[in-house]
Amino acid sequence: MHKRRFNALIASLFASAALGFSMPATAQQYKDEYKLSTVLGEAFPWGWGAKRWADLVAEKTEGRINVKVYPGAALVSGDQTKEFTALRQGIIDMAVGSTINWSPQVRELNLFALPFLMPDHKAIDALTQGRVGQKMFEILAERDVVPLAWGENGFREVSNSKKPIRTPDDVKGMKMRVVGSPLFLATFNALGANPTQMSWADAQPAMATGAVDGQENPLAVFNAAKLHTVGQKNLTLWGYVADPLIFVVNKNVWNSWSEADRKAVQEAAVQAAAEELARARAGISAEDDSLLKEIEANGVEVVRLSDAEREAFRAATAGVYKEWAERIGADLVKQAEEDIAKR
């Protein structure tokens, strides 16, 4: 009797599938594992934040959503500038991505890489937590992803193996590794450097062999990657751009989850992002400069620019700022400038 009922049930399910009937939302099948892409591993605040999000998602969904983190942009063969496209295509399910790496596909994200737009952390917060941040989320939502929270890689400082950098003239002729963004090329070209685009995976070997003289990255990245061991003995704090991170989910994946699980994933993203941001900013303030002291203890000479010295770099890149402000959108840039001024 039970066997006949079971067979009848199976037959009805197959008949429903054949007729194209959809299963109720509560019966949607989840993947056994969701792929989360990030550029850096757990030793860095960025990678730690991705892992934290994955753990919180499993916890808050009671194991219904299991996430595996793929650092090193491994899902796109290490080319972080292809990450956003793969995310849209569904090759990647989730990501904690950099505004820099996604800017080739989303031109408005270049805003954060305008040279010397943001002078401090309050300026970053004025953008990501205000009107500009909301506008960016709306733009991303039109491109097959669901943005959930803002994290941070940090202000990008410049280092090299040759000499201390205090003026634009000091940068002239230097072979500098930069990320795959035309705006970064334009900025370093304006300073008279010789910029070379390469992935992070290729950058450290290039520094070790002297193929490039220097690079620019947040202090947490500089320290965790032990860049002092590949000749980067001169570090200048110029804070020329900052690198916000965005916690996102592919839209089709998002829509496949129940409302309760979507809420749980969003709450996990907000929590992980806040904790990641705190890590990214730790040890680099006037109140707590422990990270800077650790870098200096490794034999690195740290140059702290005066306001006048920093202004010289801003003036040298003003033409790049103006050109790219027009490309990004004059109204959006004006809004950003206004919100920073009000901070």
22 lies in some domain: no
State pLDDT tens for residues 79-119. 999 999 999 999 999 999 999 999 999 999 999 999 999 99
Cα(147)–Cα(140) distance, integer angstroms: 7
18 lies in some domain: no
The reply to whether 250 and 219 lie within a common domain is no
pLDDT of residue 22: 37
pLDDT of residue 201: 86
Q: What is the pTM of this model?
A: 0.89
Burial class (CB in 10 A: 0-12, 13-18, 19+), 119: middle
The reply to whether 181 and 271 lie within a common domain is no
pLDDT of residue 12: 43
State pLDDT tens for residues 195-252. 999 988 899 999 999 999 999 999 999 999 999 999 999 999 999 999 999 999 999 9
With a CB cutoff of 8 Å and minimum separation 6, the contacts of 287 are none
Low-confidence stretches of the chain (pLDDT beneath 70): 1-28
**CA triplet 109, 182, 41: central angle to 5 degrees?**
65
The reply to whether 53 and 120 lie within a common domain is yes
pLDDT of residue 7: 46
Cα(336)–Cα(139) distance, integer angstroms: 15
The reply to whether 84 and 149 lie within a common domain is yes
Backbone angles phi, psi at 9, to 5 degrees: -65, -45
75 lies in some domain: yes
The reply to whether 114 and 210 lie within a common domain is no
The reply to whether 257 and 221 lie within a common domain is no
16 lies in some domain: no
pLDDT of residue 28: 63
The reply to whether 208 and 330 lie within a common domain is yes
Mean pLDDT score of the chain = 92
15 lies in some domain: no
The reply to whether 255 and 327 lie within a common domain is no
Q: For the chain, how many structural domains are there in total?
A: 2
Give the three-class secondary structure for 197: strand
The reply to whether 143 and 168 lie within a common domain is no
210 lies in some domain: yes
3 lies in some domain: no
pLDDT of residue 218: 97
The reply to whether 188 and 212 lie within a common domain is yes
Q: Which domain holds residue 197?
A: 157-241+286-341
CATH number (domain holding residue 274): 3.40.190.170
The reply to whether 109 and 176 lie within a common domain is no
The reply to whether 169 and 301 lie within a common domain is yes
228 lies in some domain: yes
Which of 226, 196, 240, 190 lies closest to 214 in space, CA to CA?
196
